[in-house]
Structures are given as C-alpha cells and as structure tokens.
Amino acid sequence: MTFKDIFKSSFLENVTSISILDMVLAMALAFAIGIFIFLIYKKTYQGVMYSTSFGVTLVALTMITTLVILAVTSNVVLSLGMVGALSIVRFRAAIKEPLDIAFLFWSIAVGIVLAAGMLPLAVFGSIIIGVMLLIFTNKKSHLMPYIVVLGCNDHASEQKATEYIRSKVNKFSVKSKSAQKGSVELNIEIRLKDDNTDFINELAGMDGVNSAVLVSYNGEYAG
C-alpha cells in the first residue's frame, strides 16, 4: 500500500462521512439553542455578580459539543482517540452558583443530542427545560426568605417588637438570640405577606428598639 492509498482510504473518506447539510443544520441549531440557553440563564440569574463570559461559554459549549460528537460518530478510531484525549483534561474554574451546573449540563446534553440527529428532542426538550426554570426561579419577592436583625433594650421591648413582627408577616422563626446586659439581639427568619417592607421603619421607631435591619438571603442558615 502506497502513501497515496493511505491518504485516499483515511482522509478522503472522512471528508465525505458527514454531509455538508447535516453539519450546517447541526451547528446552526446548536447556535440557536445555545442562544436560548444563554437568554434563560440571564433571565433566571439570581447571584450577586452576573458573568457575561459564562453566558457566552454556554453558547460555545453547545456548539463545541456538537462538533466533537459529530466527529466521534463518523469514525470509530477517532472516538477512541477523543476519549483518551478528553480524559486528561482538567478544569479548575469554580462554580459560584449551584444552578450554573444545570446550565453546563444542559449545554453539553443539547450538543450531544443534536449531533446524534435527535433534533426534535433537542428543540422541544430545551423549551420545556427553559419554561421550567423560568417558573421555579422567578418567584415573587414576598415569597423569598428574609432575616430581620433586631436590637432591643430589654425583654419587654423584645416581646413588644416580636409580636409586632408576627402581625405583619406570614412566617416567623427565631434563628438566633444574643443577650447582654442592657441589650438583646435576635435574628428572625420571616416570609412577607406582600412586597411592602415599611413595617421595618415602624419597628425601628418603637420604644426600646435600638435597630431593625431587613436582609434577604437564600434560605440557608448556619449557626
């Protein structure tokens, strides 16, 4: 076998193993669904600092996964080599939000499904996932948990303040209490009845109340 025969049997066959139409359609859908994932991520992001680069990464990851799986499905030898090459890759980027992991897997899964030729599954599956994320992450603000940091002079003012808070909220739960001579501090988890937070102003003006702070948090508490 000459070098020309080897060239013809490997390279030229791989060139025609995937049609141009399939490649263009798969990559175009990967880009479109990647943009859709990016928009859902931007709409549902609830962290402190929004990262545009992570959103762009989701689009790129969808297209790159599609490209890799298209190559793997066209050549068995290449698929074995790809598995060996990817097994030595290590990523050190920290995931700041737990929901970011879902978006990463979503992008990878869409790329795999598109390259496998299951176009309706990729499209309708992404729509269903996107709608689900929009429903469960975009909650009304009064359903979110809040912490009230309350500072009082004595036990009597503490009771008066806590009874007032109970009358203004749906849920009341004391998370911690710190007492010193002449002062009492409480951390209270609450759920608001509506979006109105004016009761904090009235609470701070009550006799015996030194301070009243309302803080939004994610529902996790240590201590």
Note the pLDDT tens digit of each residue in 27-50. 999 999 999 999 999 888 876 667
Among 204, 220, 212, smallest CA distance to 144 is for: 220
pLDDT of 72-115, one tens digit each? 776 655 555 555 555 555 556 667 777 888 898 999 899 889 88
Q: Which residues contact 161 (CB under 8 A, 6 or more apart)?
A: 150, 152, 203, 206, 208, 209, 212
What are the sequence ranges of the domains in the chain?
A: 3-137, 141-216
CATH code: domain 141-216 is 3.30.70.260
pTM (predicted TM-score): 0.63
